[in-house]
């Protein structure tokens, strides 16, 4: 048995078939995209939800006790939560800074992983 064949056999026993996974994962994604709030989600939230649905499909069609799937679900959710918490904190800091100094200026920083707002003199 070749490398690809053995890998596919191992993954199939752990995750179920691609066809089964695709059917369940795509159905979950279709439902999510029909929800009114889908358009309000940011890219990282949409991607996390898509990936979580894929992990749910794998748990349903394959080995539900494969801990790595559940760790991945936790990881995707955690990344979104941490980004939201970081931005909330930055917005609170900005609000406090502007209350102390109404003349301060600020700008939006679109670079991922960088501070959401830059307040001169506060960094």
In sequence order, the β-bridge partners of residue 118 are 107
67 belongs to a structural domain: yes
In this structure, are residues 107 and 115 in contact, taking their beta carbons and an 8 Å threshold? no
Could you read off the pLDDT of 97-123 as tens digits, one per residue? 778 877 666 665 666 666 655 556 554
40 belongs to a structural domain: yes
Number of separate domains in the chain: 1
Could you read off the pLDDT of 76-97 as tens digits, one per residue? 999 999 999 998 998 888 887 7
123 belongs to a structural domain: no
Helices (H), the chain: 3-15, 18-34, 43-61, 67-100
pTM of the model: 0.78
Backbone angles phi, psi at 19, to 5 degrees: -65, -45
Determine the structural domain holding residue 102 and report its residue range.
3-118
- pLDDT confidence band for 68 (50 / 70 / 90): very high
Report d(CA 34, CA 37) in Å as an integer.
9
49 belongs to a structural domain: yes
Report d(CA 2, CA 17) in Å as an integer.
19
Could you read off the pLDDT of 19-44 as tens digits, one per residue? 999 999 999 999 999 999 999 999 99
């Amino acid at each position: 048995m070749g490398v690809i064949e053995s890998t596919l056999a191992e993954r199939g026993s752990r995750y179920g078939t691609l066809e089964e996974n695709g059917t369940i994962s795509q159905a979950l994604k279709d439902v999510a995209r029909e929800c009114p709030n889908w358009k309000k989600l940011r890219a990282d939230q949409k991607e996390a939800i898509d990936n979580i649905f894929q992990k749910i499909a794998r748990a349903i069609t394959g080995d539900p006790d494969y801990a790595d799937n559940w760790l991945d679900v936790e990881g995707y959710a955690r990344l979104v939560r941490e980004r939201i918490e970081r931005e909330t904190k930055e917005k609170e800091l900005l609000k406090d800074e502007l209350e102390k100094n109404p003349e301060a200026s600020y700008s939006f920083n679109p670079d991922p992983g960088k501070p959401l707002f830059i307040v001169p003199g506060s960094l």
